[in-house]
Amino acid sequence: MPKIVVFGAAGKAGSRIVVEAAGRGHEVVAVARRVESMGDLPPGVVGAPGDSTSRETIKELAAGADAVVVAINGPGSALWRDAAEALVETIRSLPEPHPRIIHMGSGATLVLPDGTRPLDNPGFPAQFMDVATGQASALDYYRNSEGVDWTYFSPPPLEFGPGERTGHYRTGMDHPVTDADGRAVLSYEDFAVALVDEIEQGRFVNTRFTAGY
């Protein structure tokens, strides 16, 4: 089974990704700045301290892995671009085969029917602007990178939070996946399902995708 390294494993989405991957029998290394912040990990999951912007940490943990998941959060706008650069530059220096980067992106970078992104809207909440612009910069970096396989997975722009694991979802590329009422909705639990499915199936290599009900 694949070995999966999850940066941001203490977060709301990251912790669910760890549970989903471990539940399928994958070898999982759960990474957070403080191991104790992850609480009780599923059986068989290894906890490790680490920072997704640290090339030393990436080199140590990504060696021999099949996928490296980035589900991080933090202050400022530079974090996501810094992590993308550190991951790409370090992973492509490792012996082949290189692990694939699976980056949890931002729904604010998706393209709306009018051709704009939510983050371009004058009414976009200021408290989310650092995340949105940082994630947009990371996506631009991946799209111009070479030597490493990557996937950037955007959740819905607004209706994305804790909920039920249904195991069902639909995928799209750069536009939000909407239901019959025009809503783009997904739970953290089914985001984790779709992300681990992508690790297993490799349908969206070197591109961005999204999912919704």
Output the pLDDT for position 121: 92
Q: What is the mean pLDDT of residues 179-192?
A: 96
Helix (H/G/I), strand (E/B), else coil: 32 = strand
Q: Is the peptide bond before 157 cis (omega within 30 degrees of 0)?
A: no
Residue 175 — pLDDT band, cuts 50, 70, 90? very high
Q: How far is CA 207 from CA 6, 100, 164, in A?
A: 20, 12, 27
DSSP string, 69-131: EE----SSSSHHHHHHHHHHHHHTTSPSSPPEEEEE--GGGSPPTTS--GGGSTTS-GGGHHH
Q: How far is CA 14 from CA 6, 30, 44, 78, 105, in A?
A: 7, 9, 17, 20, 12
pTM: 0.95
Output the pLDDT for position 1: 67
* Structural tokens at position 86: 């550190």
Residue 174 — pLDDT band, cuts 50, 70, 90? very high
Residue 164 — pLDDT band, cuts 50, 70, 90? very high
Q: How far is CA 11 from CA 1, 6, 8, 98, in A?
A: 24, 10, 6, 25
Question: For 104-127, what is each residue's pLDDT tens digit?
Answer: 999 999 999 999 999 999 999 999
Output the pLDDT for position 177: 97
| Structural domain of 181 | 3-212
Residue 2, pLDDT > 90, answer no
Q: Tell me the average pLDDT of the chain.
A: 96
Output the pLDDT for position 145: 96
Query: How many structural domains compose the chain?
Result: 1
Are 42 and 19 within 8 A, CB to CB? yes
Q: What is the mean pLDDT of residues 59-88?
A: 95
What's the CATH code of the domain at 194? 3.40.50.720
| Neighbour-count burial of 127, counting CB atoms closer than 10 A to its CB (0-12 exposed, 13-18 middle, 19+ buried) | exposed
Q: What is the mean pLDDT of residues 46-61?
A: 95
Output the pLDDT for position 89: 97
Question: For 11-31, what is each residue's pLDDT tens digit?
Answer: 999 999 999 999 999 999 999
